[in-house]
Amino acid sequence: MKKNFILAALVLLATLVLLGLLWLEREPAAPVTTEPGAVEAELPPEPEPELVTSITLASVGDIMAHMPQVNAAFDRERGEYDFTPCFAPVKPHLAEADIAVANLETTLAGPEQGYSGYPRFNSPAELAAALRWAGFHLVSTANNHSLDRGEKGVLSTLDNLATHGLLAVGTYRSWEEREAITMLEREGQCLAILAYTYGTNGIPLPKGKEYLVKLIDRDEMAQDIARAREGGADWIVILLHFGHEYHRHPSPEQEELVAFLFAQGADIILGSHPHVLQPVKFFSGEGGDRLVAYSQGNFISNQRDRYRDSGMILYVTLEKNVTRGEKRIKAVEYLPTWVHRYRLDGRLHYRVLPVQEAMRAYEGGADPYLTEGDWHRLREVWEETVSWVAPEGGVRVRGGD
C-alpha cells in the first residue's frame, strides 16, 4: 500500500511539472502599442439617468357671488361670512393638483362699499379665504366685472386676495406690476400665467391708469408671450375672458383668436365668460402640444337655468424631460361639477358637487341633502357634459365608468 501511495505521488508531481512547462512555452500576448501622439482609448462614461417630472394644473370657470349666495354664507351665530361649505365637496379633488386656478368674477372691494350681486358685484373678502382653503393658488381678475367698483375696487380686491394667499393676474396696481410676468414653478417646470378680458361692461378705464385691467390687445398679448418665453417659461397659460354668454358653441371670433395665440406660442388657453360649458380641444403635432378650453362653465353661481348650473374641473398633466429640455401634455381630464342649491332650516345653502360622486352618494343613501329631483338633474348634467366637452377625443372624463 505504501508503494502505491508513492507511485501516485510521483504521477501527480510529473503532471504538475508538465503543465508548468506547457505554460512557459505558450505564445506571449502581443504587446499593446500606441502611435506617437495618440491618446489611449477610454471607456465612455455611464450616461446620467434622465430626469422627468410631471405636474398637474387644475382649472375651473366662473366663480360668482350673487346676493343669495352671499346671504347664505353669513353665519349668524359668529356674525361673519363663511364660504368654505360651498367648496368642501371639491376640496379633495383640487388637492390632487399642483396648481389650481379660477376666474374670480366679482370684486372684493370691502364692506364700506356695500355688498352686492349683479350687475355690479362686490363680495366679502372671506370668499378669498375659502378659495385658498379649498386649494386654489391663483385667480384671474380680468373679466367684464373687474371695474364694478372702480379703481378702488380693483386695488382692494388685489389687497384682499394677497392677504389670503392668492395670486392674481389680469388686474394691476401700476405699469411696473402689469409688465411683470407671473411665473409659477413646480418640480422644475415653469408656468407663465397671463389673463385678459374682452371688456369691462362699458366702464372706462381711468385715463392714465389703463394698467388696471388687461384687455384683449393682440400686440400686447404677442409681446407678453414672447417675454414669458424669454423669461424661461416652459408653459404659457392664458386665462381668457371672451365669447358670447350662454352660447355652447365657440364663436368664429373665439376660434380665430385662439389660433392667433397658438401661433404666437401659447400652450394652454383656459376660457371663461359664457357661463356654460364649451368644448375642450387638444392638439398634438410637430409644433408641440396645444390645449384650449373655450369655456369652463360656472363653477359656482346662483344661475339655475339648464347648462348654467354646471361646470367642471379641468386637469392638465404636464410632463417635462428636464435632462433633454423636452415637454409634452401627458393627459387631459375633466371632472363634471354641479352647483347644488338647497334649503335647510329655512335658509339657502350652496355646494359645488362632483357629479358622479354625488349620484353615488344619493343612491347609497349617504347624502341626506340630495332629493330625487336633484339626482335626476345630476344625471342630466353628467350626460350633457360627457357628450359635449370633448367630442373629438384626446380628453377623457375623470373617474368615468
> In this predicted structure, what is the pLDDT of residue 236?
98
Assigned C-alpha cell, 258: 385662439
Name which of 224, 233, 186 is nearest 57 in CA terms.
186
Model confidence band, residue 401 (pLDDT cutoffs 50, 70, 90):
low
How far apart CA 401 and CA 389 sit, in angstroms, is: 16
Q: Which residues pair with 354 in a beta bridge?
A: 337
Taking residue 37's Cβ as centre, other Cβ atoms within 10 Å add up to 5
**Confidence class of residue 43 from pLDDT cuts 50, 70 and 90?**
confident
The model's confidence at residue 399, banded by pLDDT at 50, 70 and 90, is: confident
**Contact yes or no for 350/337 (Cβ under 8 A):** no
| The pLDDT of residue 82 | 98
| Mean pLDDT score across all residues of the chain | 91
Round to whole Å and give the CA distance between 398 and 356.
Answer: 10
CATH class of 52-397: alpha beta
pLDDT in tens, 171-209: 999 999 999 999 999 999 999 999 999 999 999 999 999
Over residues 44-101, the pLDDT tens digits come to 777 678 899 999 999 999 999 999 999 999 998 899 999 999 999 999 999 999 999 9
Q: Between the CA of residue 240 and those of 21, 295, 346, 353, 389, what are the distances in Å? A: 89, 9, 39, 25, 18
Q: What is the mean pLDDT of residues 239-247?
A: 98
CA distance 129 to 134: 9
Residue 287, pLDDT score? 77
| pLDDT score at 57 | 98
Give the three-state DSSP class for 56.
strand
Give the Cα separation of 386 and 103 in Å (integer). 22
Distance of CA 130 to the CA centre of its chain: 18
* Sequence-ordered alpha helix ranges (H) in 88-190: 91-94, 126-134, 150-163, 175-179
Least Cα distance to 84 among 349, 369, 304, 367 occurs for 349
> Domains of the chain: which residue ranges?
52-397
Per-residue pLDDT, 48: 73
375: helix, strand or coil? helix
Estimate the crossing angle of helix 355-363 against helix 372-386, to 10 degrees.
Answer: 150
Is 273 within 8 Å of 250 (Cβ atoms)?
no
The angle, 0 to 180 degrees and rounded to 10, between the axes of the packed helices 218-230 and 252-264 is 30
| pLDDT for 383 beyond 50 | yes
**325-363 confidence digits (pLDDT tens):** 899 999 999 999 999 999 999 999 999 999 999 999 999
Query: Partners of 5 in the beta sheet?
Result: none
CA–CA gap between residue 395 and residue 401 (Å, rounded) = 15
Nearest 5°: phi and psi at 80?
-150, 170
Residue 46: predicted pLDDT: 72
Residue 396 pLDDT greater than 70, yes or no: yes
CB 343 within 8 A of CB 68: no
Q: Is 290 helix (H, G, I), strand (E, B) or coil?
A: strand
Distances (CA, A) of 69 to 51, 82, 262, 331: 47, 11, 37, 34
Which residue, 123, 57, 58, 55, is CA-closest to 90?
58
- pLDDT value for 34: 46
Burial of 73 (0-12, 13-18, 19+ CB in 10 A): buried
pLDDT average, residue stretch 126-135:
98
pLDDT at 41: 59
As a whole number, mean pLDDT of residues 361-387 equals 97
Confidence of residue 11 (pLDDT cuts 50, 70, 90): very low
What is the arithmetic mean of pLDDT over 140-145?
98
Give percent of the chain with pLDDT exceeding 90: 83
- Report d(CA 101, CA 128) in Å as an integer: 13
Inform me whether the pLDDT recorded for 237 exceeds 80: yes
pLDDT recorded at residue 375: 98
pLDDT score, position 348: 97
Residue 1, pLDDT > 90, answer no
> Cα(123)–Cα(65) distance, rounded to whole angstroms?
7
- 210 grid coordinates: 389703463
- pLDDT at res. 195: 98
The pLDDT score that the predictor gives to residue 40 is: 53
